[in-house]
Amino acid sequence: MLVNSKYTKFAALFFIQTLSRGLLLSVIPIQALSIFEDAQRVSTLFFVISIGGILGALGMPKIIAILGNYRGFLFGCSMMLISLVLLSFNEPLYFSIGLFCHVFSIAAVEVSFMLYILARVPRAELTQFEPLRAFSTVLALSVGPFFGVWLAEEVSHDAPFILSAVSALFSILYFRYLKLHQTHIRESHPLNENALQYLWTFMKQPRLRLAYALVCARSSWWLMFVVYTPIYLIQMGVGELVAAAVVSLGSAWTLSVPFWGWVGRKYGMRTLLVSGFSVASILTMCVFGVSSLPMVTAVLLIFSALGTTMLDGAGNVLFYRAVKGKERSRMSAVFVTYRDFSNLTTPGLFAALLNFFTLPVVFFSASLWMAVAAWYCRYIPGQMK
């Protein structure tokens, strides 16, 4: 069975919550390019702002210790709503502060959600739940980018921000409908332990380091795809709607995530991950090779996203299997920084490279790190299902 309907309602929460940021996935880089007028400046902005996400994630155990996990979730949603107001202003300072709040809120909500997953889903059923969660999440990231840009162009500049706020508010109501606020999270949260201590605890554990490295590679590729694909295509004269459509079509491979989850359970996570990283690496290198042909590049980018979508079939199972019960909130706080670490290092790398090379260098770089990740997968236990 490809999908376990037992967790369908729970997984739907991830669609609703993720839609609030999915609607802005292409709107934000396009607006950033409009405000700052240069791809390198946009890269530098994303590099600096990503620090907010890391601070948000590493600060969540303290926030959860003081407020509780449910109020910690509400705190993250509140930060999201504040960010939407600020991002709607087409002015550099407000936009930058809003983007800081935006990445902070995403990290805060994700830490909270990971604790609920670990509390509500038995370890033996994680490989069945994760593809469903990934399906819901990536589906929101598939329909969101094109719809958000369409709303901004055809309805009003503020429309995607308003709808994003509605989605965030509805996620709170749905959260209570599922009675997740009544879930007891079993773990102490020592207030006297600082972030560096549990960061060190995380890094001492090889299985956690492996899970983190692989998910960073996956996240970095998606960042390259959703940020630099529209920038590249717009600079090549394709147009904003077409650029957003390419991002949505590439993300639409999410429909195959339950299948890839089944592949992982049947043939092993190592086989699935090696295949996904390899496909993405090879096709992204092909993108670099034909970067002077924007429509051919667009098609290749859409198909290279299939390889990265294969990785979503594994979701975060490697982390869930490795984390110890008594360390869940602290290790989750470190683990969810993968997105912000990617948001920090990837634009930083690209900002440096774009000083010397043209924009297609981002595709060459992405191909290389996906190839390295495929090689690193050899440390995954061969029979992990």
Task: Give the CATH number for residue 284.
Answer: 1.20.1250.20
Alpha-helical runs (H) found in the chain: 8-22, 27-36, 39-67, 69-87, 92-120, 126-154, 159-177, 195-203, 206-223, 229-235, 240-251, 257-267, 269-289, 294-312, 317-322, 328-335, 337-353, 361-376
Q: Does residue 63 sit within a domain?
A: yes
In a domain, 89, yes or no: yes
pLDDT at 217: 94
- pLDDT above 50 for 1: no
The residue ranking higher by pLDDT, 346 or 198, is: 346
pLDDT band at 8 (very low <50, low <70, confident <90, very high): confident
Q: Is residue 203 part of a domain?
A: yes
Residue 187: per-residue pLDDT: 53
Domain assignment of residue 82, yes or no: yes
Domain presence at residue 212:
yes
Report how far residue 316's alpha carbon sits from residue 127's, in angstroms, rounded to the nearest whole number: 9
Q: Bigger pLDDT: 120 or 374? A: 374
Q: Is residue 227 part of a domain?
A: yes
360 inside domain: yes
**Percent of the chain predicted with pLDDT > 90:** 21
Q: What does the pLDDT read at residue 92? A: 87
Decide: 160 and 150 in contact? Cβ < 8 Å: no
pLDDT at position 374 over 50: yes
State the average pLDDT over residues 127-132. 80
Domain encompassing residue 249: 8-181+192-379
CB under 8 A, 24+ apart: contacts of 155-164: 157/88, 157/90, 158/88, 160/23, 160/24, 160/27, 161/24, 161/84, 161/85, 161/87, 161/88, 163/23, 164/19, 164/20, 164/21, 164/23, 164/24, 164/80, 164/84
Q: Is residue 59 part of a domain?
A: yes
Instruction: Count structural domains, the chain.
Output: 1
Find, among 147, 359, 146, the residue nearest to 236 by Cα.
359
Cα-trace Rg, the chain: 19
- Distance (Å, rounded) from C-alpha 329 to C-alpha 10? 20
